[in-house]
Amino acid sequence: MARTDPGPPLVPSLLDRLFDDEPDVTSGDPLWARTRSARDIREGVRRDLEMLLNTVHTRPGLASSDSELAVSVLTYGLPDLTMRALDDPVEQGLLCELIRNTIGRFEPRLREVHVSVRKAESRLARTIQLQIDAVLHVDPLIERIAFDTLIEATGGNCVVRTSS
């Protein structure tokens, strides 16, 4: 359900509150207090999700443990994807589950996350297109959101765009 009233402001992420994209604009209010639109919040979540999926951690064993290390900065991001066979349906399913679990651990604003394969390119292209569907929870905003995601396994690059 989208926000319709001008009630309390939507509070952006800590990262958005630390950045000032308009340093020349002076006002008595902090920048984050001027950021009220749901579009700004969605763009911040998209950016943070892209950073999460582009970060490679080198301790995959820790991510599957039951200790606090599984949710620490040591396991932030995805393991190296360069050796994955993205054209294999079994690997695609494992990748979707891996991304869903990673989002669940490190992006608390997204709930009920579902990741599915939209299109897998040829073995030579080494890319895969995913659809990430979730419910965005940023008090008082609660709405469904979807992202088109392209992963290039050879370089590990991930591009996340908001679905229209």
Q: pLDDT digit string (tens) for 91-100?
A: 999 999 999 9
Residues 6+ apart with CB under 8 A from 124: none
Q: pLDDT digit string (tens) for 35-54?
A: 568 888 899 999 999 999 99
- Rounded to the nearest 5°, which phi and psi values hold at 118? -95, -45
Identify whether the C-beta of residue 110 lies closer than 8 Å to the C-beta of residue 93: no
**Tokens matching residue 79:** 């393991």
Confidence category of residue 3, pLDDT binned at 50, 70, 90: very low
What is the model's pTM? 0.79
Residue with tokens 């582009």: 54
Residue 77 exposed, middle or buried by CB count within 10 Å (0-12, 13-18, 19+):
buried
Q: pLDDT digit string (tens) for 5-25?
A: 555 556 666 666 566 666 666
pLDDT of residue 49: 97
Rounded to the nearest integer, the mean pLDDT of the chain is: 80
pLDDT of residue 26: 65
pLDDT of residue 6: 55
pLDDT of residue 104: 93
> Which percentage of the chain shows pLDDT scores above 90?
39
Please give the torsion angle defined by the CA atoms of residues 129, 72, 55 and 125, in that order, rounded to the nearest 10 degrees. Answer: -40
DSSP letter, residue 115? E
- Rounded to the nearest 5°, which phi and psi values hold at 132? -110, 115
In order of start, what are the domains of the chain with their CATH numbers?
34-162 (3.10.450.40)
Confidence category of residue 127, pLDDT binned at 50, 70, 90: confident
Q: What are the residues facing 152 on neighbouring strands?
A: 127, 157
Alpha carbons 104 and 81: distance in angstroms, whole number: 19
pLDDT of residue 114: 98
